[in-house]
A and B are shown apart, each in its own frame.
Chain A
Amino acid sequence: MKYVDEYRDGALAKTLAGKIAREADPGRRYHLMEFCGGHTHAISRYGLADLLPRNVEMVHGPGCPVCVLPIGRIDNAIELARDRGVILCTYADTMRVPASKGLSLMKAKAAGADIRMVYSCADALKIARDNPSREVVFFAIGFETTTPPTALAILEAARQGLANFSVFCNHVLTPAAITHILESPEVRDLGLVPLDGFIGPAHVSTVIGSAPYDYFAEEYRKPVVIAGFEPLDVMQAILMLVRQLNEGRAEVENEFTRAVTPQGNEKAKALVADVFELRRSFEWRGLGEVPYSALAIKQRFAAFDAEARYGIVYRPVPDHKACECGAILRGVKKPADCKVFGIVCTPENPIGSCMVSSEGACAAHYTYGRYKVGSDPGKVGSDSTFGDRNPGR
């Protein structure tokens, strides 16, 4: 595949792996957080961890849009579809996220709620146009990447006077989440989570640019390398981070220059600014309430705001007691540290959100990497975890 295979070249990967191995100082450890689920997925899918020396360790971050969606918000969406009789349009990943009372959007759909999977919010607009007698709500989730299309859909609905269309907005912001992780007591005071540097988001950065990360480099002295989602991008970014750390630098570097500029996509940013405003606070699954970390629809577009239209009341719901998604999303624990991982919590029957999306740390580890559990003494979890488990359904 042209323009893709170039970034998946195994020979180049070996060369990069050799450089990383040569340059990584055997006397220290490198804890690098990939913020984005896209990177988590690439690392697992291409087996990147196999190519890294043992002292270079990847820590999964909270950048999986489905994973950080709190249970209460999914409950709200289910109520909209089930009790208010709307057509709820959602991205497919959200369908299986466990909500309260053993429900999920998938189960609500099976019970008769009109829930439809869409590939983009433009599809939701079309459904609204095609069903003028029904109310249609788009369940908007995601980081800065999915926000501009939602803004465009709202502007388009306003232009067309689509009175039966609204958006249940759950868009969240990357920089706020990174700040929150760096400010968490586990990182800042206790030193429980050693974090030496970040691989910065790929697609998010095409929108917001590289400038917003300058603050982390300056304020927290953590190097950031923005990288694409292809495996060679990730390898190159790891090498760049190792070099920065070896040289005592903490800068924002851009590996993904083919798509990311310092200022990002001005048009997209303007669209977002036109339609959305900052929320004072928003609950993230795993991170709790994070100030100024999410967007709400501006008053001017209140007619298209499902929260206003249906008087949605948010009720926080605690995670399942045994679920470690919170700690995993903060980088404090790894999937294999969770007691229910791979036993009670599997992709077929997820307990926590990290097991749902293919970008979730647990799902990625379960799907691509669990044969290694126990083979690495540096990782918790024993081989017997799987010895008794039927690998089938």
Chain B
Amino acid sequence: MTKGQEKVESDPTFRRRGAYVRPIDFRNGRVDMTHGSGGRAMAQLIDELFAAAFDNEWLRQGNDGARVNPPPGRLVVATDCHVITPLFFPGGDIGALSVHGTINDVAVMGATPLWLAAGFVLEEGFPLADLKRIVHSMAGAAREAGVPIVTGDTKVVEKGKGDGVFITTTGVGVVADGVDLSGDRARPGDRVIVSGTMGDHGVAIMSLRENLTFETTIESDTAALHGLTAAMLAAAPDLRVMRDPTRGGLATTLNEIARQSQVGFVIDEAAIPLKSEVEAACEFLGLDPLYVANEGKLVAVCAAADADHLLAAMRAHPLGRGAGIIGEVIEDRHHFVQMDTRFGGRRIVDWLAGEQLPRIC
């Protein structure tokens, strides 16, 4: 007997009638409006699927929220909405992505992620089999990362008013004393390091777009980076900036830091790690890999003196093996990101205008 059935059957109404509780049909069933109405169907879905998959001491208490005991230190809170299409892609799915994305937002603040909260917006008619797959993937990602999902919420919207499933996750983490990472701390002379190849996630997603389908072996790089960030902070406690270049890619992240820190960047095109498959896919789609999203990579800015041992520490971590120094911070009142091209010229790497492709994270 599953945990869900236990709970429903311990309900006095059920006992009195001796009602049989039909198990949720995770093979052919679909989300319907009752799954979000606050009634028994919702309770059953929460118990049999979400609580069972995410199982931890806080969820077992069955309260509206999770009461946690934060360790001493400053807390970091980050939230991230996930609306990706397609929901399943090479190397991951929206479930794992929603865990990794928020853990990474907390981690690049220099924090140790402790807890996650998850909100689901389900569309009426969404196959329960897909939902189960997604929730299990989330649970697996959270377990692997050692960051429990301690509270959550589920809503159902009518068919046509959503796109299958949207997931919002919020993360809480704690920052050790002495760590002070912020986008406004880049200083002229600092070095810029990326943790690996750029653009893998975006190209993996694009390869599945209905009007674009092309064969590729590229997989999304979706991964939780808090192990890597911890190793980096151990090697270089005075790290200035870390950021995960998701939407808008490396170019957007560097422009954000340039604006926040009131500096400019000069990067070296030849030093930017790129998989040749990603480069080729971007070439024939007319995209610039610098603007393509990543979900398991980070950009760091550190003092020049820290660069070499930071790089060594990154390369010693499985998620930083492909790390490389790609450029430096310069003084520039225009806050431009410039790039020395492999061809020998220099150009601006500007903010993205319009959108390269919709809904990738």
- Chain A residues near B (Cβ < 8 Å): 1, 4, 8-10, 13-14, 17, 44-51, 95-96, 118-119, 123, 126, 231, 346-348, 363, 366-371, 386-387, 390-393
Contacts and interface: CB of A to CB of B under 8 A. Distances in A.
B279 A392 contact: no
Interface of B: 211-212, 255-256, 258-259, 276, 279-280, 283, 333-336, 338, 341-348, 350-351, 353-354
Tell which of B211, B279, B335, B336 has the most Cβ of chain A within 10 Å: B211
B211 to A, nearest CB: 5
B346 A47 contact: yes
Nearest to A349: B353
Contacts of A393: 351
B351 A391 contact: yes
Nearest to A46: B343
Say what secondary structure dominates the interface of chain A: helix
B342 A10 contact: yes
A96 B352 CA distance: 14
Contacts of B354: 95-96, 347-348
Given A371-B334, A386-B334, A392-B255, A1 B279 contact: yes
Given A50-B345, A347-B354, A369-B347, 16 more contacts: A8-B342, A13-B343, A13-B344, A44-B347, A45-B341, A46-B345, A46-B347, A47-B345, A47-B346, A50-B346, A348-B353, A387-B333, A391-B258, A392-B255, A392-B335, A392-B351
B215 to A, nearest CB: 16
B350 to A, nearest CB: 5
Contacts of B353: 346-348, 363, 367
Contacts of A370: 348
Contacts of A371: 334, 336, 338, 348
B250 to A, nearest CB: 16
Contact of A51 (B255, B283, B345): B345
Contacts of A46: 341, 343, 345, 347
A51 B346 CA distance: 10
A366 B348 CA distance: 9
Which 9 A-B pairs give the minimum distances between C-beta atoms? A47-B345, A347-B353, A368-B347, A10-B344, A46-B343, A50-B345, A392-B259, A47-B347, A123-B211
A1 B345 CA distance: 19
A378 to B, nearest CB: 18
Contacts of B280: 1
A325 B258 CA distance: 31
Contacts of B283: 1, 4
A390 B259 CA distance: 9
Nearest to A11: B344
Nearest to B280: A1
28 contacts: A1-B276, A1-B279, A8-B343, A10-B341, A10-B342, A10-B344, A17-B344, A47-B344, A47-B347, A95-B354, A96-B354, A118-B211, A119-B212, A123-B211, A231-B343, A347-B350, A348-B354, A368-B347, A369-B347, A371-B334, A371-B336, A387-B334, A390-B259, A391-B335, A391-B336, A391-B351, A392-B256, A392-B351
A8 to B, nearest CB: 5
Contacts of A8: 342-343
A14 B338 contact: no
Contacts of B256: 392
B276 A48 contact: no
A95 B336 CA distance: 27
Contact of A367 (B343, B346, B348): B348
Contacts of A96: 354
A10 B338 contact: no
A97 to B, nearest CB: 11
Contact of B347 (A45, A95, A348, A392): A45
Given A10-B343, A50-B345, A119 B279 contact: no
Contacts of B212: 119
Contacts of A47: 341, 343-347
Tell which of B255, B280, B343, B345 has the most Cβ of chain A within 10 Å: B343
Contacts of B255: 391-392
Contacts of A4: 283
A387 B258 CA distance: 15
Contacts of B343: 8-10, 13, 46-48, 231
Contacts of A366: 350
B95 to A, nearest CB: 28
A46 B349 CA distance: 11
Contacts of B348: 367-371
Contacts of A48: 343, 345
A126 B212 CA distance: 13
A48 B348 CA distance: 13
Contacts of A49: 345
A383 to B, nearest CB: 9
Contacts of B279: 1
A318 to B, nearest CB: 25
Contacts of A363: 353
A4 B276 CA distance: 12
B320 to A, nearest CB: 25
A130 to B, nearest CB: 10
Contacts of B338: 371
Nearest to B276: A1
A326 B335 CA distance: 31
Nearest to B340: A47
Nearest to A365: B348
A391 B334 contact: yes
A371 B283 CA distance: 25
Contacts of B351: 391-393
Nearest to A117: B211
B332 to A, nearest CB: 8
A371 B346 CA distance: 10
Tell which of A96, A346, A392 has the most Cβ of chain B within 10 Å: A392
Tell which of A9, A47, A391 has the most Cβ of chain B within 10 Å: A391
Contacts of A369: 347-348
A348 B352 CA distance: 9
B120 to A, nearest CB: 27
Nearest to A9: B343
Nearest to B350: A367
Contacts of A9: 343
